[in-house]
Chain A
Amino acid sequence: MTQPSLTLFEKIWRQHVIASAGEFDLLWVDRHFVHEGSFHAFDKLDGSGRPLAYPELTFGIADHYVPSNLARLDDDPEVAKMIRLLEDNTAKHQLTYLGLGHSDRGIVHVAAPELGLTLPGLIIVCGDSHTTTHGAFGALAMGIGATEVAHVLATQTLWQRRPKTMRIHVDGKLDAGVTTKDLALHIIHQIGTGGATGHAVEYTGPAVAALSMDARMTLCNMTIEAGARVGMVAPDETTYAWLRDAPQAPKEESFVQAERHWRTLYSDPDVHYDKAVTVDANEVAPRITWGTSPEQSIAVDEPFSPSDSEATRSSLDYMGLSVGRPILGLAVDQVFIGSCTNSRLSDLRDAARVLDGGTVKVPTLIVAGSNRVKAQAEAEGLAEIFRSAGARWGESGCSMCVAMNGDSVAPGQRCASTSNRNFPGRQGPGARTHLMSPAMAAAAALNGKIVDVRQSAAGVSA
């Protein structure tokens, strides 16, 4: 009997099915990351009277509640308490914990891949929707809710319905000055924020194969903004090169054994996807969101003429914009460069290239995704460029991506941000967020308004 053709996603899913009941499969979970928000789940676990099943596969990292200015931690006892709760829960269950002061700590979606905890072929879960990021390594990684987190803590398994499959094929090549963030916003604009709901996305094509691991993570990270819980890229030489250098990845004989398995992880050539979309990378320009949903974006050089609908009107109203008022040249009040989407070394290099020698016109906060990225950025002089330009260089963490750790945007203020969500209130009540790439955000910082980074001399990498 010939083997049926399978997608990358289906292969990994099948390898993890322990049992099935109706449409639900009971899946083995290889990696589980917990953060401060997991306290509900630890409470549930304790309530169930069960021990934590596999402490060696569970890792605690403080990120969401870490302010960019650690001295401010005492200002809000509730925030400090959230970090302490995670510390207590990980100690109680004897988990590896990357807490304040740990040199490997960072946003879980930046720190874990960097440490080599994220590997191809694994099922990875975390109580955070941007867990899609880890799919960049050919892992099946998905965000889950607190009750599911508790279930994984107690059993190292998860009941899930198998999503449908979807391929997003990216032909062509990104132009100079155009980044993966722009590609992600382009795709979401094309298919909509619900365009991939119920599906596991696999990115394929020459433009994807050409991307660095940092860039693949940005792409997979934004997949949740198109509604998919899973976004993945099949592992290849770029992936293996990254893993060879990662401290916690398998070493020597063990790496050879692992790699043999990883090389079986690809979609069979004639395989069927439930949904397929093709995108031309050559058509992508630097993009900016103008509204309150990640799908509401335009190319920086495109005239601003959104369709007239109630949704458009309420977004424009919230954002303090009107049709006919161009986005290019729009004044911003502040700039945030960071978040699990765009806080890796290559993102900071992009920002530094633009900022080098200049002075920011508006308050600018730059936050590395992890302490390792922070140390590297300091070692290669990026931090010095930021400081000389007048930007603030913060402690690594989620920071201003989400208004929960003391970093937020004041009501009515307009923020050029490299994060992933421009929802009403995301960066603070009444905050107005424009999503864009690190290079575009850096150019906005220098000019105090939204400009086309391609008009500036500094180049950026994909």
Chain B
Amino acid sequence: MKPVTQVTSPALLLLDANIDTDQIIPARFLRKPRSSGYHHYLLYDARYDMQGQPRPGSPIPESQGGAKIVLAGHNIGCGSSREGAVYAFVDYGIQVIISTKIADIFRNNAIRNGLLPIMLDQAQFDSLVAYCQARPHANLTVDLQACEIRWETDSCLAFEIDDGSRERLLEGIDDIQATLDWEQKIDIFAKDYLTERPWVVPGRV
């Protein structure tokens, strides 16, 4: 997983509330291998009509145009647990999603795939949106080291993220590899636990 430290780019605005993962990637694309490039499927039904022609009101440009940051409406990523929704953003080039609420499973998936989820309060979020609407091509800088979002020369706001998530993203930690350090502890736990509760294993007793 690619580490995320500092990201500077213009922001893409997806301000509808409750953009669920079925909209982010419709179910019929989930069978596609990751190697096919999940950016093709990002918000597919909002981007293309039934004939596969681009819709005039598409919420995102056909080519990503350098945006690595998304400002998303309240409760982005609700619904299905499909990690394909995160792959679609990541493959499109997005590294940061900022919202007032990010759904739990989507957030977990994001952290495991180098997509930084940031939750701001409404006033902070609104000020960012106002700036980006006024200056659509202007850059934002998201700095995970300093936990800051900066714009222009002197505007800056701090965001909060728990240490574990921050560390995973900064270091690009692969959980499976990291957990190997705990292997002995897991074995001891499992032995005690399953001895005490043999009925947990179906068919064993």
Seen from chain A, the residues whose Cβ lies within 8 Å of a Cβ on chain B are: 18-19, 21-24, 26, 28, 30, 37, 40, 44, 48, 50, 54, 56-57, 65, 78-79, 81-82, 116-117, 119, 122, 127-129, 143-148, 150-151, 154-157, 159-161, 163, 193-194, 197-198, 224, 227-229, 248, 250-251, 253-255, 257-258, 261, 293, 311, 314, 402-404, 411, 421, 423-426, 429-430
Identify the closest chain B residue to A49 (Cβ): B176
- Among A117, A144, A250, A258, which residue has the most Cβ atoms of chain B within 10 A? A250
Q: Which residues from chain A contact B34 at a C-beta distance below 8 Å?
A: 40
Identify the closest chain B residue to A158 (Cβ): B175
Given contacts A194-B75, A227-B104, contact A22 B80 (CB under 8 A): no
User: Are B198 and A254 in touch, CB under 8 angstroms?
Assistant: yes
Of the residues A122, A197, A404, contact of B104 by C-beta under 8 Å: A197
Which residues 150-196 of B have a CB within 8 angstroms of A? 162-165, 167, 175-177, 179, 182-183, 185-186, 189-190, 193
User: Are A24 and B164 in touch, CB under 8 angstroms?
Assistant: yes
CB distance from A411 to the nearest CB of B (A): 6
In the bound complex, CA of A161 to CA of B163 (Å): 11
User: Are A22 and B167 in touch, CB under 8 angstroms?
Assistant: yes
CB distance from A274 to the nearest CB of B (A): 15
CB distance from B99 to the nearest CB of A (A): 10
CB distance from A82 to the nearest CB of B (A): 5
User: Are A146 and B179 in touch, CB under 8 angstroms?
Assistant: no
Q: Which residues from chain B contact A143 at a C-beta distance below 8 Å?
A: 81, 105
Given contacts A22-B167, A248-B202, A402-B27, contact A148 B75 (CB under 8 A): no
Of the residues B79, B164, B201, contact of A21 by C-beta under 8 Å: B164
In the bound complex, CA of A37 to CA of B83 (Å): 10
CB distance from A401 to the nearest CB of B (A): 10
Q: Give how many A-B residue pairs fall within 8 Å (CB-CB).
A: 181
Range of interface residues on B (Cβ < 8 Å):
35 or more
User: Are A403 and B26 in touch, CB under 8 angstroms?
Assistant: yes
Given contacts A18-B189, A150-B176, A156-B186, contact A145 B105 (CB under 8 A): yes
Of the residues A65, A147, A423, contact of B83 by C-beta under 8 Å: A147
Q: Is B109 interfacial (CB 8 A cutoff)?
A: yes
Identify the closest chain A residue to B111 (Cβ): A147
Identify the closest chain B residue to A420 (Cβ): B79
Which residues 128-155 of B have a CB within 8 angstroms of A? none
Contact mask for chain B residues 1-38; partner A; CB cutoff 8 A; 1 contact, 0 none: 00000000000000011101011001110110010000
Q: Which residues from chain A contact B74 at a C-beta distance below 8 Å?
A: 194
User: Are A22 and B50 in touch, CB under 8 angstroms?
Assistant: no
User: Are B200 and A30 in touch, CB under 8 angstroms?
Assistant: yes
User: Are A421 and B22 in touch, CB under 8 angstroms?
Assistant: yes
